[in-house]
Amino acid sequence: LAAEAGLYSSADQVVLLTPDTVASVLRNNSAALLVEFYASWCGHCVAFSPVWKALARDTREWKPAVDLVAIDCAFEENSRVCRDFGIAGYPSLKFFPAHSGSDSKGSDIKGFPRDVLGLRHLIIRKIEEHHDSWPPACPPLEAASKAEIDSTVQTNSMEYLALVFETEDSYVGREVTLDLLQFSNITVRRVLKSERELVSELEVTDFPSCYLRRRDSNFTRLHVLNEARTFYSYALQRLPGVVRSGKSKPVTSDLLQNGTQVQWRPFDRSGVYMSDLESALHYSLRVEVAARSVIAGPALDALRSYISVLAKVNFFSLSLSLSLSHERTLDPTAALPRGVRWVGCQGSRPHFRGYPCSVWTLFHLLTVQALETGSSGPLEVLWTMRRYMHNFFGCRYCATHFEQMAEENMDSVTMLSEAVIWLWARHNQVNNRLAGDLSEDPHFPKIQWPPPDQCRECHGVKGGGEHAWNQAQVLAFLRSHYSAQHLNMTYLE
Ligand code: FAD
C-alpha cells in the first residue's frame, strides 16, 4: 500500500521497492537494476515521473536482463532505506549490476538524461559495463564478426537469424536484440558497417538496415516502413513461429489447435467478426448480467445505458429497444443467438482471449459508430463502458484498473473523435501492462496496436529515430476498421 501511494503503481511495469523487499529485489538479482529514489512531494520528481513510466513501457521486453525500480523516500517507512543508500537529493538514480552483493550501494548516475532515448542508451552502456557477472538472460550485445555469423549459418541451428547493420554509434541493433530477448526461435545480432566483407557479401547499402535469414535459406532484407528500432522489433516479433519463450511451443500448421472439441475457425487477423460481437452480447447479457438476482440503483442505470447504446447501433440482429422500466431484468436478448462462437477472438487455448477480447471489440465499435452517426454525446459510450465494467464485468481486477484510467482523464474528452482515440490509447496502455503476462496468448502477443502491417500510415518517427503515432491516421484507421462495412459476417448461425 505504501509503495502504491507514491508516483508509481504496479501497473507501470516498475518494481516498487519497500524496506521488506530490499533484499529480494536488490541483492543477487539475475537482472541488472536501475533504481529511482524519489520523493513524491518533490516537483522535479513529479515532472520526471512520466519519463520514468514511459521508459518502463519502452523497455518492458528487457526485464529479464534489466529492470526498473522506484522507491518513494517521502514515505516515512522507506526513509531508512534511502538513508542507507546515501540518498541526498531527489530524484537520484543508482545502477545495480546483475548479482550485486549484500554490501553493494549501487553506482550513482550523476547528471542523467531526462528523456527516454537518453536513458535507454544509458541502460545499454551500463549493461555493457558488466564483465564477470553478465545478466544471464541478456543476449550478447557486442557486434558480430563475419566469422561468427558464418559459423552460425553453417550449424543452421537457428530458425531465424536477424542481422542489424549499423554504424558504431548506433544503438538500434542492441535495442532490437533486447526487444527480442523474451522471444524464442530467433537470434538478433548487430553487425557494424566496418565489417566490410559481410557488408559486401549481402550488398548492404543502408545503415541501419536489417537482414533476415530463415533456416535453410539465404539472407534477405527485412522490409519495414522506417529503418528504426520499433519497426524492426514489430516485424521480428510477429514472424511465424516466433513466440514468447516459456510459453507453449509454436505450432507447425497454419491453423492453431485450441485443445478442445470446439472446431477451430480459420479467420483473418485483421477482421472484425459479427460472431464475436454477438457472442459478447450473449455472454454479457445472459451470463454476466444475469448472474445478478436483483438489478437496482446504479447497476440498473448501467444496464439501461448499455441497452440504450446498443439499441442505437442498428446493425445488431437484436431487438434491444425495449424499455427497462422495472427494477427487474426483462429478457432483452430474445433475438440473440445462444452460446458463444469466437472467431477473431479465438485463443490458442480455451482460457485465452474470448470474452474480454470481444468486450474491447464491442466498445471500440460502439465509439466509432457513435462518431459516424452522431447519435450520442462524446462521453456516452465511454460512460456506458465504465459503468458496465464497474457494475458487471467479472474480472474485478480489470474493472478496478479501467476505473483508475477513466478517473485519470476520461473527462477531458469533449468530442466523439476524442472518445475513439481515448479508448484506443487506454487499450494500448492495458496491452503494455499485460505484455508477457501469464494471461497473454503466446500466439497473439500484446503489442502496441495497430501494427505497421495493418496501418503503415499510423506509424512515424520523431527525431532520433523514436517511434511516434500519427493520431490523425490512427483515427482514420479505427473508423475504417470498426466500421459497419468492415464487419465480417462469416460463421453466423
Ligand atoms: P485484446 O487486448 O482483448 O484486444 C482485442 C482485439 O482488439 C485485438 O485482437 C485487436 O484486434 C484489437 N485491439 C488491440 N489493441 C487495440 C487498441 N489499442 N485499440 C483498438 N483495438 C485494439 N486483463 C488482465 O489480465 N488485467 C487487466 O487489468 C485487464 N484489464 C482489462 C480491462 C478491460 C476494459 C477489458 C475489456 C479487458 C481487460 N483485460 C485485462 C483483458 C485483456 O485486456 C485482454 O482482453 C485479454 O487478455 C485478451 O487479449 P487479446 O489478445 O484477445 O486482445
Alpha-carbon distance values, 233 to 181, 261, 399 (Å): 11, 35, 31
Asked if the model's pLDDT at residue 253 lies above 70, the reply is no
Residue nearest to atom 23 of ligand 1 (CA): 398
Residue closest to 83 by CA, chosen among 110, 103, 104, 105: 105
Sheet strands (E) in 107-254: 107-108, 160-166, 183-184, 186-192, 209-214, 219-221, 243-244
Q: How far is the CA of 440 from the centre of ligand 1 (A)?
A: 10
pLDDT in tens, 255-279: 344 444 568 899 998 999 999 999 9
Ligand 1 atom closest to Cα of residue 354: 52
Query: In this structure, are residues 164 and 190 in contact, taking their beta carbons and an 8 Å threshold?
Result: yes
Instruction: Decide whether any atom of ligand 1 lies within 6 Å of the 364 Cβ.
Output: yes
ipTM for the predicted complex: 0.99
395 a catalytic residue:
no
> Is-catalytic flag, 398?
no
Q: Which residues pair with residue 459 across a beta bridge?
A: 469
Mean pLDDT of 277-306: 92
Is residue 430 within 6 Å of ligand 1 at its C-beta? yes
239, exposed or middle or buried, with CB in 10 Å at 0-12, 13-18, 19+? middle
278 in contact with ligand 1, CB cutoff 6 A? no
> What is residue 171's predicted lDDT score, i.e. its pLDDT?
97
Specify the residue with its C-alpha closest to ligand 1, atom 35: 356
How many other β-carbons are positioned within 10 Å of the β-carbon of residue 159?
17
The reported pLDDT for the residue numbered 274 is 94
- Secondary structure percentages of the chain, helix, strand, coil, to 5: 40, 10, 45
- pLDDT of 250 > 70? The answer is no
- pLDDT given for residue 316 in this prediction: 64
For the residues 452-478, what does the mean pLDDT come to?
A: 92
| SS3 call for 484 | coil
**CA-proximal residue: ligand 1, atom 43 (nearest):** 430
Pairing of strands 186-192, 183-184: unpaired
Q: Is residue 326 classed as helix, strand or coil in its secondary structure?
A: coil
d(CA 6, CA 216): 53
Burial class (CB in 10 A: 0-12, 13-18, 19+), 360: middle
Of the candidate ranges 45-49, 130-134, 456-460, 487-491, the one whose mean pLDDT is the lowest:
130-134
C-alpha cell at 378: 462524446
Ligand 1 close to Cβ of residue 424 (< 6 A): yes
Q: Are 337 and 244 in contact (CB under 8 A)?
A: no
Q: E-assigned strands of 193-280?
A: 209-214, 219-221, 243-244, 272-273
Residue 408 has pLDDT above 90, yes or no: yes
Q: Give pLDDT, residue 261.
A: 55
> Does residue 389 line the site of ligand 1, with CB under 6 A?
yes
Window from 82-86, 367-371, 444-448 with minimum mean pLDDT: 444-448
End-to-end CA distance of the chain: 49
Beta strands in 109-227 (DSSP E): 160-166, 183-184, 186-192, 209-214, 219-221
Is pLDDT at 429 greater than 60 in this prediction?
A: yes
| Span from the CA of 485 to the centroid of ligand 1 (angstroms) | 23
For residue 4, give the DSSP letter: G
- pLDDT at residue 329 above 70? no
**Residue 27: CB within 6 Å of ligand 1?**
no
Cα of 22 from ligand 1 centre, angstroms: 33
- Place 11 in a pLDDT band, splitting at 50, 70 and 90: confident
Residue 84 has a CB neighbour count (10 Å cut-off) of 11
Judged by average pLDDT, the poorest of 81-90, 240-249, 466-475 is 240-249
Distance 422 CA to ligand 1 centre (A): 14
